[in-house]
Structure 1
Amino acid sequence: MSQVDKLHDITSELYELAQQPPKATDREEFIETLTGLLEQRDKLIEGLEGPYTDEERQKGQEIIRMNSVVDERVAIHMKQLKTEIAHMKKRKTSNQKYTNPYQSVSTYDGMFLDKKK
């Protein structure tokens, strides 16, 4: 199996993985699988050498097409994860304020300092 065939197989796996949104319970597994496939693909891309046959060029065009879809979908998934992380942080601070409402009250609240001599 040539490097282009291996690259095509890994890119098609990435394509299939990126098409389905990650479930809330499987998020870590999804990210680990995605990262592993991307690293494998990077190593294969570094090892590519020409010249290529017509079949390999055709597979290369298909890889480019799938890669654009993978990039879009991964960007969408990352944006969703970032917003979800922001919501979790906001919920955490709200819960902390609810359990200890006087945590952030200033000690100088209501105090007057006279500077006249």
Structure 2
Amino acid sequence: MSQLDQLHEVTAELYEHVQQPPKSIEREEFIKKLSELLDKREQLISDLEGPYTDEGREKGQEIIRMNDVVDKRVSFHMKQLKTEIAHMKKRKTSNQRYINPYQSVSTYDGTFLDKKK
């Protein structure tokens, strides 16, 4: 199997992987497999050597089309993760404020500081 065929196979697997949205309990596995596939694809891309036949060019065009979809889906998933993380942080701070409402109150309120020497 040529390197171009391997690259096409890995890109197709990556394409299929990003099409299905991860469930919240499977998110770590989804990200782990995604990073493994991206690393493998990066290695294959760096090892590619030309010149290519017409069939190789067609596979390359198909890889490029799949890559565009993969990029869009990965950025969508990343944006979704960032918003979830922001919501979790907000929820955490609001829970802490509920538990200890006087945590952020300044200790200098109502005190007199004499500035004379």
**TM-score (ref. length: structure 1):** 0.95
Look up the match of 1:89: 89
Look up the match of 2:56: 56
Look up the match of 1:21: 21
Shift of 1:113: 3.1
- SS of 1:26's partner is helix
Shift of 1:105: 1.2
Give the whole-Å Cα distance in 1 for the aligned partners of 2:2 and 2:56.
9
Unaligned 5+ runs, structure 2: none
Look up the match of 1:71: 71
Cα RMSD (Å) = 1.2
Shift of 1:112: 3.0
Deviations 1:9-39 (A, max 9, x none): 0000111111111110100000000000000
1:38 and 2:44 aligned: no
Deviations 1:71-103 (A, max 9, x none): 001000000000000000000011111111111
What percent of counterpart residues are identical?
Answer: 75
Give the whole-Å Cα distance in 2 for the aligned partners of 1:45 and 1:9.
12
- SS of 1:83's partner is helix
Give the whole-Å Cα distance in 2 for the aligned partners of 1:100 and 1:8.
56
1:104 and 2:104 aligned: yes
Quick one: which amino acid aligns to residue 33 of structure 1?
A: K
Give the whole-Å Cα distance in 1 for the aligned partners of 2:15 and 2:31.
14
How many pairs align?
Answer: 117
Deviations 1:44-81 (A, max 9, x none): 00000011121111110000000000000100000000
